[in-house]
Chain A
Amino acid sequence: MRKCVCSATLTAAMGAMLMVLVGSPSVIANTREMVGMVMLLTGSPNVTANTQQSAPATAEVKIDNFSFGPQTLTVAAGTTVTWTNRDDIPHTVVADDKSFKSKVLDTDEKFSYTFTKAGTYPYFCSIHPKMTGKVVVQ
């Protein structure tokens, strides 16, 4: 067991050195995967601890060319959805039932909302009511 831990530690150290030397994001990602795989194979208890930490679920909707993309987004309950305005003009995100509403979003501004209950949440842009979208929470 000690040998396995040493092996994993050595691999991780080598990976870290490689990341520092190369600095490329793709290489960093690959190295991380490689380190993870080696640690999984060696059965290190640290890996089990890491997999138990669940990152908060997120999803993104882009506002571009007077439309929400994707127009219908399906997410699990507890997911935080972030809308980003990629348009050159202001938009808003307002739920039909007014359960959530953003301020006016200028270019590159974001609005986030966490959906805690299952259901269908249609929304629209109050400046351009023709712009509509839907979030389906399962």
Chain B
Amino acid sequence: MSANPFDIRTVILAKHAQHVVLIHFPIALFLAAVAFDYLAQWRRDQTLATAAYFNLLLAAILTVPVVATGLVAWQWALEGQKLKGILLMHLVLGCISSVLIWLVFWIHWRVRRHPDEFLPKYRLPIEALGVLLVGLTGHLGGFLSGVNGPG
């Protein structure tokens, strides 16, 4: 008998890896935030800047459960054994990506507290680097999760 996917117990106790599910949210929110921020910079549009800020806020918050579930998966599935190769690279890049997301959010948050200040332009290359690292981490994660496998 197959489980009802809309049953709350199925949702909470799902056998699939939660890390793999949750990771899509901060990735999408961060990419959208950076796109909005670049557009806001280009168009000098405050609404787009606000959209970028709230996307960044949610992306930063969601990195917490994503990193937590990743570490839990490491402890439970691999019993915390020493990582190497792709797994280690994924862990390191994931942590750096999370720090960059929080750094970008902090830059935006600091400026929003002082409406008379402008967002510094050096944030743009940091955001670009963040997108690059998030993409690379996601690529390795996809490789590890077996999306290219026979299913």
A137 to chain B, nearest CB (A): 25
Q: A104-B78, A104-B84, A127-B77 are in contact. Are A90 and B149 (CB under 8 A)?
A: no
Closest residue of A by beta carbon distance from B85: A106
Chain B residues with Cβ below 8 Å from A104 are: 78, 81, 83-85, 87
- Is B144 in the interface zone, CB < 8 Å from A? yes
| Residues B136-151 near A (CB distance < 8 A) | 143-146, 149-151
| Residues A79-138 near B (CB distance < 8 A) | 89-90, 92, 101, 103-104, 106, 126-130
A99 to chain B, nearest CB (A): 15
Q: A90-B85, A104-B81 are in contact. Are A127 and B149 (CB under 8 A)?
A: no
Is A90 touching B87 in the complex (CB atoms < 8 A)?
yes
| Residues A26-71 near B (CB distance < 8 A) | 65-67
* B76-101 vs A, Cβ < 8 Å mask (1 yes, 0 no): 01110101111100000000000000
Chain B residues with Cβ below 8 Å from A101 are: 79
Closest residue of B by beta carbon distance from A94: B77
- Is B15 in the interface zone, CB < 8 Å from A? yes
Chain A's interface size range is 10 to 19
| Residues B112-151 near A (CB distance < 8 A) | 143-146, 149-151
A60 to chain B, nearest CB (A): 21
B138 to chain A, nearest CB (A): 15
Chain A residues with Cβ below 8 Å from B87 are: 90, 104
Chain B residues with Cβ below 8 Å from A89 are: 86, 143-144, 146
Chain A residues with Cβ below 8 Å from B81 are: 103-104
* B49-92 vs A, Cβ < 8 Å mask (1 yes, 0 no): 00000000000000000000000000001110101111100000
Chain A residues with Cβ below 8 Å from B144 are: 89-90, 127
Chain A residues with Cβ below 8 Å from B143 are: 89
Q: How far is the CA of A41 from the CA of B143 in the complex (A)?
A: 58
| Residues B2-37 near A (CB distance < 8 A) | 15
Q: A104-B83, A104-B87 are in contact. Are A126 and B150 (CB under 8 A)?
A: no
Q: Which 7 A-B pairs have the closest CB atoms?
A: A66-B149, A126-B77, A128-B146, A106-B85, A66-B146, A66-B150, A103-B81
User: Assuming A66-B150, A89-B143, A127-B78, what are 9 further A-B pairs, CB within 8 angstroms?
Assistant: A65-B150, A89-B86, A90-B87, A101-B79, A106-B84, A106-B85, A128-B149, A130-B146, A130-B151
A-B contact pairs, 17 of them (CB 8 A): A65-B149, A66-B146, A66-B149, A89-B86, A90-B87, A90-B144, A101-B79, A103-B81, A104-B78, A104-B81, A106-B84, A106-B85, A127-B77, A127-B144, A128-B145, A129-B15, A130-B151
